[in-house]
Chain A
Amino acid sequence: GNSVTQMEGPVTLSEEAFLTINCTYTATGYPSLFWYVQYPGEGLQLLLKATKADDKGSNKGFEATYRKETTSFHLEKGSVQVSDSAVYFCALRGSQGNLIFGKGTKLSVKP
């Protein structure tokens, strides 16, 4: 069945450090892939998405490239800020249309 595996956290970085959060998936075909972010006490916000292989999604300095060869969709940011502290979820759209999420990775950025 479809599944998403993302690196376990928490991840603690200093401000302006480089961020990578690994995400790999198992799926039939080539599903749309997403990164969502959840700030404390809030719901999920779509950060970026990619709908086909080799697509690069980007938003607010974050990027992720849909790699079908490695079934991966790693999230990267060149210089994190304290305000990026949140929980990040990788997800794929299943064949029925629902989202299938990874367990989430908590990011803490220290000044």
Chain B
Amino acid sequence: KAGVTQTPRYLIKTRGQQVTLSCSPISGHRSVSWYQQTPGQGLQFLFEYFSETQRNKGNFPGRFSGRQFSNSRSEMNVSTLELGDSALYLCASSLGQGSPNYGYTFGSGTRLTVV
């Protein structure tokens, strides 16, 4: 079956612009989480969506937002981009939200560069 699909793979944006990233989870998975990966901070949790509702949020400013659609696809948006937002953004899908026995499957990520 198809894995987690993230689009686009690469993006270059200018400071002050906004960007939208997309994630299509594995068929049947209802939970989508987003992570930011940078060389300095490592992997940090952004938020998790389940059944179109944000269920959990990390410690990021309000410029970072997301949503989930009825088909479980998710988008994340970053407004007023800063140079420090340059990162690999990873999406992970799971069958259910928060269950200890559910695993996460990650996509290949979107590499965002802010110039």
Contact = CB atoms under 8 A, between A and B. Distances in A.
Contact of A98 (B33, B42, B105): B33
A46 B104 contact: yes
Nearest to A93: B100
Contact of A42 (B33, B48, B58, B108): B108
Contacts of B92: 44, 99
A46 B90 CA distance: 14
A44 B43 CA distance: 11
B56 A46 contact: no
Interface residues of A, number: 23
A77 interface: no
A97 B33 CA distance: 10
Contacts of A51: 100-101
A46 B105 contact: yes
Contacts of B33: 98-99
A100 B45 CA distance: 7
Contact of B98 (A41, A97, A104): A97
Interface of B: 4, 6, 33, 35, 42-43, 45, 48, 55-56, 58, 90, 92, 97-101, 103-109
Interface of A: 31-32, 36, 41-46, 49, 51, 89, 91, 93, 96-104
